[in-house]
Structure 1
Amino acid sequence: MAPAYGEEKGTGPLSPLDPASKADTDVFQEQPGHDFHYKTLSWQFVSLLMIAEIVSNGMLSLPSALAVVGIVPALILIIFFGVFALYTAKLLIDFKLNHAGVHNMGDAGYVLGGPILRETLSIGTIIFAIFGTGSELLSGQQALSTLSNNGLCSIYLLLIFSMATLLVALPRTLDRVGWLGLFSVCLIAVSGVVAMIGAGVNPVPGRVLDATIPTTFYQAFLAITNPVFAYAGQLAFFIIISEMKHPEDAMKAAWCLQGFSTLFYTIFAVVIYVYIGNTVASPALLSLPPAWAKASFGIALGNFLIAGGLYSHTAAKIIFVRLFRHTEHMYTHTVLGWVVWIVLCFGAVAIAFILAIAVPIFSYLIGIAASLFASWYTYGIAGFFWMHDSYHLKGGWPGIRGRPGQCVLAVLTILAGAFICVAGTYVSVKLIAQAYSEGLVGRPFSC
């Protein structure tokens, strides 16, 4: 009998349900004759892709956090969560290096707790990626509406931006969008600089600035969610690292990501707040004079597009790898492989588009999705990764007890993820109720 696809060099045909394919065998089996080569990314391009996905529309809400709790607490939070995200990134990367077959959060869940946890984390990742796509679509629509002076129905603008997002998502391997990552990073950086210049030359007269502002738990945590979710996006770390030539260099990319994002977030939030004051809107660009808002939105438009493409690519790649792991459809041009891939990418963007136009509270639901999933994928679950590998790879409970400092940090990470999840969901639900009571919720399929 001829060997099954992937048996070259003794790899053997590995089922997506085989524990060995999850933990021990690299998710991508590179062979010279393959049409698709996945393990091609350098750590420099990985850092660009991570920045392109994470440093996007989330930064536009940061100045409003300063307007709620004051400049000092908000800056402490921005810097703290940047450092926290770097720490959890290290735990995620260490887990990936210890389990080469982990391609996404679902695979990691299989290692941690078997099939049920795998399905839970897989579904959660796909949902969050689709909601992330929808968030970028709304930002793109908002940018196009600003640029056109609302000259076209927002549904049509959203459709146009969705079609462009689909095109960005379609390349099968991430190296095809690596240079787009560089372009995206440049765009969001220049957009932020233009916004800061616009605020600086047009300061709000009589603006009010506060070092600290007494507030309620609800308002304070609402402000906290801005920096918390501005760093969200580590759900794609496993997927991106899986396509690196040298996954052991992933921590270099994480340092670049968190160093750039924390510094950029801090400068952007402070400058915008100092010149606009407590009346700053969310997104902050809406507080600029029309010409400056158009310039900044127009430049950032490309970043929203690329980030949306990466989110929808992530959702499609999870299902595609699950269906075709270690089969010919992963590595060669087959009709079935291409049809399934295009359908998955189209489905991810289409679902995000439909949610954005059909669900009037979709922008609020994004907050719930971020609370339920990003709180764990970016923060809490990393503590479980450390616990698992310390127990199984370091000699059981003695391996955990022998590193008390790291154990305490891992437990605190788990508790922090749980707190952000519960409190963030509470705040998001209360926001929805408040929006309905104040008549702020529009109608589905309306311009």
Structure 2
Amino acid sequence: MSTLEKIDEKKHGYTLGTVADESGSIDTIAALVAADHQHDIKLRTMSWKKTACLLAGEQVCLAIMAQSWSLSVLGWVPGIITMLLSGILFWITSMTMHKYIMKYPQILDICDFGYHVFGRSKAAYVFSAFMLLANNILLIGFHILTGAKILNTLSDHSLCTAVFSVIATIMGIVMAVPRTLQHVSFMSMFSSAFMGLAILLFLIFAGIENAPLYGYGGNYPSLGPVKTYAFPLPGTTWVNCMNAVLNITFLWVPQILFPSFIAEMERPQEFPKALAVLTAISVILFIVPPAIGFRYLGQYSTAPAFGSLGVVSYKKASFGFVIVPTLIIGVIYANVTAKFVYLRIMGKSKHAHSHTVIGWGVWILVMVVIWVLGFVFAEVIPSMGDFLSLLSAAFDSFFGFIYFAVAYWQLNRGMLFRGPFQTLMTLTNIFILAVGLFMLGPGLYAAVEAIIADYSGSTNPAFSCANMAI
């Protein structure tokens, strides 16, 4: 029997895991790639360089511009420590994920990952599937809302905000038609470049203007001269601090998509190269621009930081470039989400991997439904900023920490304390598990409290025409 024939075909021709394949041998990977390349639509085609572009396109995002606000809440010391610690844990958990997937190279997405990690549990698979769909569709909604904010800002609210949301949704659907991540990775290069340009312009404008204009506590100079501080200011609530921490961890926890990216690599064993590129980019962009932003905006920092700029032309010139990464990142999440749904509809039929009318029709229909659901969430949620904290607490606690602490235990059972380094890594993963549980408990409570506060105040009605420009 060939390597591929040993693979359990419970789902669309790929393994959910068998003892024979637990070694994650190169032969198994080669067999999976060979089987995929027999299809009209080939998925396992990305090199590590294209994967690096895809990772950067997904990570270099608007959330970077919310980190100055996090620093304004936490202060320099807790803020920078949280950023550095999040980066270290990101690298460790991502490498654990890769090692586990190399043991089970047939894993296609985070749902397969959860199925394996929790003892081939169907309940874990269903739970992971629900979380994947909920997380991704809410994030697509966030990007639709962001697109509407950008169009509002650039046009001085020339149209109803709901109309701008419809425009962003239609643009997203059209851009999301390609079915392979290799095609999306090409778009990701433009996403990273435009986001980088927006960040650069913001830093220049923040540095040359006399003072920021807008702050959550009041407009300049009502809060006094711009200042920075080492620790949270007196009166800062625990809920605000927790939401600032969740805001940082949200940026550093993209692993929910990583199994899907690895599954479309021709040589998934080279994923650490792409991860190293992403980590180097992230350490610079996730810390340096927010720190500079906090230096010039101080207690007037907003999320995103573009909103604090005092000169309208500066705000438009920098924030306008964000429209490209906003749509492309939405496309990345939509592709992974649609692929999960599509392959479960099509199963092992010829339409799943062929250029047929039925195949393309179902793919486009699934994509439309996903973006429409995202549009609905974008219109009915009062504050997407607080919902990002909710996403971080409810989803990233599992997909950024808990899943990978369990994966480490599965990979190292029987030798958790074998030698100083192994002991250190075991203790680190116990800490990772504790962080995930803390986010799931107190973190989730803080996020919900912030949302309740939003609903108790003045909120825009659903499908509102109200001006949402920053």
TM-score, with length taken from structure 2: 0.87
Given the superposition, is the C-alpha separation of residues 390 and 208 from structure 1 closer, same or farther in structure 2, using an over 3 Å criterion?
same
Query: What's the CA shift for 1:10?
Result: 4.5
* Equivalent position of 1:341 in the other structure: 363
- Alignment match of 2:443 (pick from 418, 424, 445): 424
* Equivalent position of 2:297 in the other structure: 276
Determine whether 1:228 maps to 2:249: yes
* Equivalent position of 1:177 in the other structure: 184
Distance (whole Å) between structure 2 residues aligned to residue 80 and residue 376 of structure 1: 18
- Alignment match of 2:416 (pick from 400, 422, 443): 400
Q: 1:349-368, aligned counterparts within 5 Å?
A: 349-361=371-383, 363-368=385-390
Determine whether 1:145 maps to 2:152: yes
Q: 1:200-239, aligned counterparts within 5 Å?
A: 200-204=207-211, 206-214=225-233, 215-239=236-260
CA deviation string 1:145-168 (max 9, x = no partner): 110011111111111111111122
Distance (whole Å) between structure 2 residues aligned to residue 427 and residue 333 of structure 1: 48
Determine whether 1:135 maps to 2:142: yes
Kept after mapping to 1: 8 A contact 2:44/2:264? yes
CA deviation string 1:359-408 (max 9, x = no partner): 435553343233111222122211111111223xxxxxx23343322222
Kept after mapping to 2: 8 A contact 1:54/1:232? no
Kept after mapping to 2: 8 A contact 1:55/1:230? no
* Equivalent position of 2:452 in the other structure: 433
Q: 1:103-118, aligned counterparts within 5 Å?
A: 103-113=108-118, 114-118=121-125
Give structure 1 stretches of 5+ with no counterpart.
1-6, 392-397
Kept after mapping to 1: 8 A contact 2:73/2:232? yes
Name the aligned partner's letter for residue 120 of structure 1: F
Given the superposition, is the C-alpha separation of residues 200 and 340 from structure 1 closer, same or farther in structure 2, using an over 3 Å criterion?
same
Query: What's the CA shift for 1:295?
Result: 1.1
Given the superposition, is the C-alpha separation of residues 28 and 365 from structure 1 closer, same or farther in structure 2, using an over 3 Å criterion?
farther
Given the superposition, is the C-alpha separation of residues 375 and 13 from structure 1 closer, same or farther in structure 2, using an over 3 Å criterion?
closer
Determine whether 1:265 maps to 2:270: no
- Alignment match of 2:462 (pick from 439, 444, 447): 444
- Alignment match of 1:329 (pick from 351, 358, 378): 351
Given the superposition, is the C-alpha separation of residues 436 and 159 from structure 1 closer, same or farther in structure 2, using an over 3 Å criterion?
same
CA deviation string 1:321-360 (max 9, x = no partner): 3344554233212333222211221111110001111343
- Alignment match of 1:15 (pick from 7, 10, 13): 10
Determine whether 1:126 maps to 2:148: no
* Equivalent position of 2:214 in the other structure: none
Distance (whole Å) between structure 1 residues aligned to residue 177 and residue 12 of structure 2: 26
Distance (whole Å) between structure 1 residues aligned to residue 4 and residue 241 of structure 2: 57
Q: 1:370-381, aligned counterparts within 5 Å?
A: 370-381=392-403
Name the aligned partner's letter for residue 247 of structure 1: P
* Equivalent position of 1:3 in the other structure: none
Given the superposition, is the C-alpha separation of residues 324 and 400 from structure 1 closer, same or farther in structure 2, using an over 3 Å criterion?
farther
Given the superposition, is the C-alpha separation of residues 423 and 17 from structure 1 closer, same or farther in structure 2, using an over 3 Å criterion?
farther
Query: What's the CA shift for 1:83?
Result: 1.6
Query: What's the CA shift for 1:123?
Result: 1.0
Kept after mapping to 2: 8 A contact 1:312/1:348? yes
Name the aligned partner's letter for residue 441 of structure 1: T
Distance (whole Å) between structure 2 residues aligned to residue 19 and residue 409 of structure 1: 33
Distance (whole Å) between structure 2 residues aligned to residue 340 and residue 195 of structure 1: 42
Distance (whole Å) between structure 1 residues aligned to residue 361 and residue 269 of structure 2: 34
Query: What's the CA shift for 1:229?
Result: 0.7
Name the aligned partner's letter for residue 354 of structure 2: T
Given the superposition, is the C-alpha separation of residues 169 and 53 from structure 1 closer, same or farther in structure 2, using an over 3 Å criterion?
same
Name the aligned partner's letter for residue 124 of structure 1: M
* Equivalent position of 2:70 in the other structure: 65
- Alignment match of 2:432 (pick from 413, 424, 427): 413
Distance (whole Å) between structure 1 residues aligned to residue 278 and residue 167 of structure 2: 30
Kept after mapping to 2: 8 A contact 1:15/1:326? no
Name the aligned partner's letter for residue 444 of structure 2: T
Which is worse superposed, 51-60 or 330-339?
Answer: 330-339
Distance (whole Å) between structure 1 residues aligned to residue 143 and residue 447 of structure 2: 19
Given the superposition, is the C-alpha separation of residues 301 and 127 from structure 1 closer, same or farther in structure 2, using an over 3 Å criterion?
same
Distance (whole Å) between structure 2 residues aligned to residue 251 and residue 128 of structure 1: 25
Distance (whole Å) between structure 1 residues aligned to residue 14 and residue 182 of structure 2: 28
Distance (whole Å) between structure 1 residues aligned to residue 375 and residue 202 of structure 2: 28
Given the superposition, is the C-alpha separation of residues 18 and 189 from structure 1 closer, same or farther in structure 2, using an over 3 Å criterion?
closer
Distance (whole Å) between structure 1 residues aligned to residue 340 and residue 412 of structure 2: 27
Name the aligned partner's letter for residue 77 of structure 2: V
Kept after mapping to 1: 8 A contact 2:397/2:440? yes
Given the superposition, is the C-alpha separation of residues 82 and 358 from structure 1 closer, same or farther in structure 2, using an over 3 Å criterion?
same
Kept after mapping to 2: 8 A contact 1:103/1:239? yes
Query: What's the CA shift for 1:17?
Result: 8.7
Distance (whole Å) between structure 2 residues aligned to residue 171 and residue 242 of structure 1: 17
- How many residues get paired? 434
Query: What's the CA shift for 1:420?
Result: 1.4
Q: Helix, strand or coil: the match of 2:57?
A: helix
CA deviation string 1:293-329 (max 9, x = no partner): 1111111110001001111111111222334455423
- Alignment match of 1:92 (pick from 89, 92, 97): 97
Distance (whole Å) between structure 2 residues aligned to residue 379 and residue 35 of structure 1: 37
Determine whether 1:74 maps to 2:79: yes
Q: Helix, strand or coil: the match of 1:399?
A: coil
1 or 2, which has the higher helix percentage? 1
CA deviation string 1:174-229 (max 9, x = no partner): 11122111111111111100000010011427212212225443222121112111
Distance (whole Å) between structure 2 residues aligned to residue 281 and residue 446 of structure 1: 23
Kept after mapping to 1: 8 A contact 2:40/2:354? yes
Distance (whole Å) between structure 2 residues aligned to residue 413 and residue 72 of structure 1: 21
Determine whether 1:285 maps to 2:306: yes
Distance (whole Å) between structure 2 residues aligned to residue 235 and residue 9 of structure 1: 27
Distance (whole Å) between structure 2 residues aligned to residue 302 and residue 337 of structure 1: 28
Name the aligned partner's letter for residue 404 of structure 1: T
Distance (whole Å) between structure 2 residues aligned to residue 115 and residue 340 of structure 1: 26
* Equivalent position of 2:218 in the other structure: none
